[in-house]
Amino acid sequence: MALKATKADVWVVTLEDRPGGAAEKLEALAKAGANLEMVLARRTETPGQGVMFVTPIKGAKATKAAQEAGMAKPANIHSVRIEGGDKPGLGSRIARALGQAGINFRGMSGVAIGRKFVSYVALDSAEDQARAVAALKKVS
């Protein structure tokens, strides 16, 4: 079974590194009815700051709430969403396919639930994003 690889709009926001910092941003999206599939938050090297990535943001109300919360689609991060059946070694096959396509990814996350998995790969350019989608559709 081939993987399903699609372009993904991942939004990013800087957080205050304190209790409730992430909750404030997520609550704004929840009030607007956003149904997120992926949230990744972490501290940054800058003291007192964190960063959070979310997707998807769909619809005018959720988009407005995201923008009002300081979120934006970064111009320098282009993401690919990958899903399929979970198998041992699949992460290495994904990384190898990207490497063989000459793509150096900037970040990767993934989770398996039962027999399925979803992964996100962050890339540096729209060209890399398009090449990654093509390369990943050939991975089984």
Residue 55, helix vs strand vs coil: strand
Sorted by where each begins, the domain ranges of the chain are: 10-68, 76-136
pLDDT bin (cut points 50, 70, 90) of residue 2 is: confident
Q: Please state, as a whole number, how many other Cβ atoms lie within 10 Å of the Cβ of residue 96.
A: 13
CATH topology for 76-136 is: Alpha-Beta Plaits (3.30.70)
Q: What is the pLDDT of residue 14?
A: 96
* Residues 72-76, mean pLDDT to the nearest whole number: 95
Domain 10-68 part of CATH 2.40.37.10: no
The pTM of this model reads 0.90
Q: What is the pLDDT of residue 140?
A: 74
CA distances from 95 to 71, 88, 103, 109, 135 (A): 29, 14, 9, 11, 11
82-118: pLDDT as tens digits = 999 999 999 999 999 999 999 999 999 999 999 999 9
